[in-house]
Amino acid sequence: MNETQPNGRVWHLTVAGGEAKGPDSVLTPVSPVDGRPLEPVASSTEPEIRAAVARARVAQEEWRLVPLSERATALKRAAKEMLRRREEAIELAARELGKVEIEGLFNEALGPLETVGGWIKVVAGATATRSVRLNPLSFPRKSAEVELVPRGVVGVIAAWNFPVAGLYRSSFPALLTGNAVVVKPSEYTPRSSAWFVQCLAAELPDGLVQLVQGAGAVGTALIDAGIDACVFTGSPSSGRKVQVRCAERGIPASVEMGGKDAAIVLADCDLARTTAGITHWAVSNVGQSCGAIEVAYVDRRIADALVARLADAWTRLRLGSDRFADLGPLGNRRQLDIVATQVAEARSQGAKVVCGGEAAGPTQGGLWFAPTILDDCTDEMSVVRDETFGPVLAIIRVAGADEAIRRINAGRYGLGASIWTGDLDRGRRLASRLDVGVVTINNHSFSGAIAALPWSGTRETGTGIANGPEALATFVRPRTVVVDAATGFEPYWLPYDHVLWDLGSLLAEAQLGKLGQVWKLPLLFRERSKTLKKFFK
């Protein structure tokens, strides 16, 4: 399928398979801006998915032998081409998600080269072969080393909220460590993710990067098609199914299942910076980020002042689809329904609507929702308990940090949290008590874009790790190589006799520090050698 973009360029959407085969084999997303249908995209069939995995496996057999320096060079070329063609990524994200263009620039298009560079350093440092010293008494003339080898074909089941950038932190390390990749984008953003795959594949060996399209059933079929590892980003319900499916097939799965990030706002914070920071991290990308601030636990002594500042700022944010709008529409109808339901429920349970609280936007038929602040919220409300993924901030007034930490640690999710305070030492002490994967002091989840820093969580966020050397366990496995330069027989080998028993007993005593009889060791070793030579003559 070819499509002409507004800038006049033609880009080619490739997918495992080809022509749509009926009404159940196409994706029919609509524009979140005005509700108009976008051109259908063919969904991949099971035979096509198996064929894509098979092609990737053939390409990976040679790619795994390519030195890291050459892999890095190829990925840098691809990243530079993505930067040169960044307007295409921005336009695609605007079409499929209604993403405002300036966020498309910063959140989707700007990061590939920096991300590749970060991953090259991480991979080079973490995958070097490691020598292991062996006890020369127990293992004479033996040496060992541990090398990390690629798993093979990695399946990437992607989310829709960052359809390009969301693929950086899984595809790049997978390829740098010698794997092939098969990407399954979200059914809401098939074109944006396909653009990324095409740019990547153009600079890599044929077949190494594959694309399959479709909804949840295609993700299941991809796991069943024989991949060697899986990276998933999405909802808890889908993530648990992925974990089970992968476990049944004995393959590792890195699964991130969302978040309910909270900000702890202490009385000594810089109110102006805190207001600006919470505003950005609550409604950037229309709040559609697993690391968005969705709840603020605010010290009662400054709550009135903070809420007033937030309300003043949020009522001046501008919704629109032009380049410099502050907020675009929500990404799909299902997400709009979740946001509207949570807000309505909170109002019925006593939350105070400070601003927003309803669907509103500049165009008819779009999936718009006004930036919303809800004050006087409680833990029982779904807007506090469940992931919202929209431009909504729940305010909970607390007595102080202890109460905030207790309530955060009791929540369903444990991805990230931030602490806003003028006392950095106190902030660090409080951070150590938070049962989450990422804590930021006086800022929020920007570290998710840094390849060297692990991005992970607890509880229903899942056990998946993105970024950092800790994430590489999904893409590589250890292989131990042991070399024995000894000649003759090992004293511990069959057949057994009383001499071997005495040898083992003496070694045990030596480990306990009883060295009075250690002089007997050479005699026992020689006697064992004679026994073995006689037995195996």
Active site residues: 256, 290
Angle 292-418-104 (CA atoms, 0-180°, nearest 5)? 30
Residues 6+ apart with CB under 8 A from 252: 151, 229, 230, 246, 473, 474
The number of helices, as runs of H, and strands, as runs of E, in the chain is 17, 23
Residue whose C-alpha is closest to residue 393's, from 266, 301, 274:
274
Residues 6+ apart with CB under 8 A from 209: 56, 171, 175, 180, 181, 182, 183, 197, 200, 201
CA distances from 272 to 269, 275, 307 (A): 9, 5, 12
State phi, psi for 370 to the nearest 5 degrees. Answer: -65, 140
Q: Where are the beta strands (DSSP E) in 309-391?
A: 352-355, 372-375
Taking the C-alpha atoms of residue 231 and residue 385, their distance in angstroms, rounded to an integer, is 26
β-pair type (26-27, 41-42): antiparallel
Taking the C-alpha atoms of residue 328 and residue 163, their distance in angstroms, rounded to an integer, is 16
Distance of CA 530 to the CA centre of its chain: 59
Residues 6+ apart with CB under 8 A from 519: none
With contact defined as beta carbons under 8 Å apart, do 194 and 167 qualify? no
Tell me the two tokens of residue 269: 């914070």
State phi, psi for 211 to the nearest 5 degrees. Answer: -130, 130
> What is the separation, in whole angstroms, between the first and last Cα of the chain?
73
228 SS3 class: coil
Taking the C-alpha atoms of residue 90 and residue 31, their distance in angstroms, rounded to an integer, is 15
Distance of CA 89 to the CA centre of its chain: 20
Cα-Cα-Cα-Cα torsion 238, 243, 244, 247, nearest 10 degrees, comes to 160
- Give the DSSP letter string of 491-520: TTSSSP-HHHHHHHHHHHHHHTT--TTGGG
Tell me the two tokens of residue 4: 């002409």
